[in-house]
Amino acid sequence: MLLFLWPIGAWTGVYERTFIAVKPDGVHRRLVGEIIRRFEKKGFHLVGMKLVQPSEPLLKEHYWGLRQKPFFSGLIEYMRSGPVVAMVWQGLDVVKMARRMLGETDPADSLPGTIRGDFCMEVGRNVIHGSDSVKMAQREISLWFNPDELICWENSSQPWRYQ
């Protein structure tokens, strides 16, 4: 087993990574297993996961781009209200595919079959976060995980998922 030690430029193709966080409402509603199941069934490769109670500074840095929005302080308070399951998934086009699997930020706009379409009722409790670009995934992963917390391992099913 090798630790995650490759350069950022290697985050392409089947080695692309994304950050996924099951928010406090998803953890309290016991949806973590179902969410992991969906990512595994899709064929993505879990390379990091931890249950955390995020600090206010971490959350303010994570949501920095939303700091001017009127809901920012409520978002930080909500994300501190319970544990979060932080994960890193790897695979071909994982950022784009994960966003499709999550559904729209507003569950009312999410199709059935998506995580938010199946499990959410309102935007303020939308169960899950996913990176919206490869660049953002790199940033978010580096905020939530130390390099030694990400495991690089060979998945024996890879030849059955990619040509």
105 is in an annotated binding site: yes
Inter-residue long-range contacts of 37-44, CB under 8 Å, 24+ positions, other chains counted: 38/101, 38/115, 39/87, 39/89, 39/98, 39/101, 42/91, 42/97, 42/101, 43/91, 43/157, 43/161, 44/89, 44/90, 44/91, 44/94, 44/97, 44/98
Please confirm, yes or no, whether 129 is among the known catalytic residues.
Answer: yes
41 is in an annotated binding site: no
Among 28, 45, 62, 129, the active-site one is 129
* Spatial separation of the C-alpha atoms in residues 19 and 140, rounded to whole Å: 6
99 is in an annotated binding site: yes
- Is the Cβ–Cβ distance between 39 and 20 less than 8 Å? yes
3-class SS of residue 11: coil
In sequence order, what are the beta bridge partners of 51? 85
126 is in an annotated binding site: yes
4 is in an annotated binding site: no
E strands present in 12-138: 17-22, 45-52, 84-90, 128-130
Q: Tell me the catalytic residues.
A: 129
Tell me the binding residues: 23, 71, 99, 105, 116, 126
Tell me the binding residues for ATP: 23, 71, 99, 105, 116, 126
